[in-house]
Amino acid sequence: MKRNTRVGLVTSGGDCQGLNAAIRGVGKALFQYVPNVEIFGMYDGYKGLIEGDYKFMEKRDFSGILTEGGTILGTSRQRYIPGKAIVDDEGNDLMPAMLDTYNRLNLDCLVVMGGNGTQKSAKLLSDAGMNIVTLPKTIDNDIFGTDTTFGFQSAVDIGTNVIDYIHSTASSHSRVFLVELMGRDAGWLTLNAGIASGADIILIPEIPYNIEKVAAALEERRRSGRNFSIIAVAEGAVSDTDAVMSEEERRRAKEQSRHSTISYRIASELEELTGQETRVTVPGHYQRGGPPCPYDRVLATQFGTAAAHLIMNKQYATMVGIRNGQIVSVPLEDAASRTKFLPVDHPLIQVARDIGIRFGDE
């Protein structure tokens, strides 16, 4: 007699909008097409796999969660030694415990939903002998092999909304406002939200800024009668002077800085250079919260159902992605091998320049 198909679900790393929609897509498609499927949801990311803490999921668990933010399974971060191991705080290898849970549950596949780091750690699970399918989730949109990730558009919408609201107070008080958005070391989120909200200057990691040129752009606006300015700043933005430093030099400079984030440093420097009152808004984790936008609900559902089909076809060691509007499967080795930074010749950067947005480099 053929045994039941057994699938585990993991949501790992930082949360974002669309995780529950993706969980729902995987579960509903498996129940639709796979007889006698059993699904196990691991609590709190890899922690559930390590500690054997999981939930046997029934059909009703996948209903009513499409519009919910966060993840019904919970999530956590684990220490990851690139290309080598997943470890605890003492440096102990956690792979044996994870393999034990995987084998004890007799899983046919583990579906791992996560960002850039999770793709890398999932590759280690695959190398250790687990059948792995991954889904790309992150507001940073920095995962190689897919045009976009779920959570990204929702964060763009939120970032745009924040800057939209800042416009009125910036105008009323003739101030310069810096709005610092997430994205880690990639500028996708800040570029898209900056264009959508009509930011005057956009500072992203891929284009190091010159603070004097940023100040000159503000002065040019003031001379033309525009008494306020909006600067969209990526959290990973870097000055041209810092860009030539080594990673260790940058780390030390950051530790010694009196400013909590890059935006506060830029604001302080601009006030000194221009004399114009400058304020900073950092929406922070607000960008990762709340319900997914309709686009992310659809995309996460597409990704989830595609993962179910990969499982049915025993196509493991793969990540689901989207390219040119088509759902694709990407070798996990490729997805985990590199980060998708924003190309400096990306068409959207030229679009921004065409309408007069400055990037602090000219």
User: Catalytic residue positions?
Assistant: 140
The strand pairing partners of 328, in sequence order, are: 321
Q: CB–CB of 258/203 below 8 Å? A: no
Tell me if residue 132 falls in helix, strand or coil: strand
CA distance 30 to 59: 10
Q: CB–CB of 200/231 below 8 Å? A: yes
Who's near 218: CB < 8 A, 6+ residues apart? 176, 201, 229, 270, 274, 276
Who's near 78: CB < 8 A, 6+ residues apart? 12, 45, 46, 47, 50, 86, 87, 88, 94, 121
Q: Quick one: which of 230, 233, 232 has its CA closest to 173?
A: 230
Q: What residue type is assigned to position 241 of the chain?
A: T
Q: CB–CB of 215/274 below 8 Å? A: yes
The tokens describing 186, both together, are: 């990639």
CA separation (Å) from 338 to 183, 325, 332?
Answer: 16, 22, 11
CA distance 257 to 204: 20
Tell me if residue 343 falls in helix, strand or coil: coil
Which helix (H) or strand (E) element contains residue 117?
A: helix 116-127
The 3-class secondary structure across 12-36, one letter per residue, is CCCCCCCHHHHHHHHHHHHHHHCCC
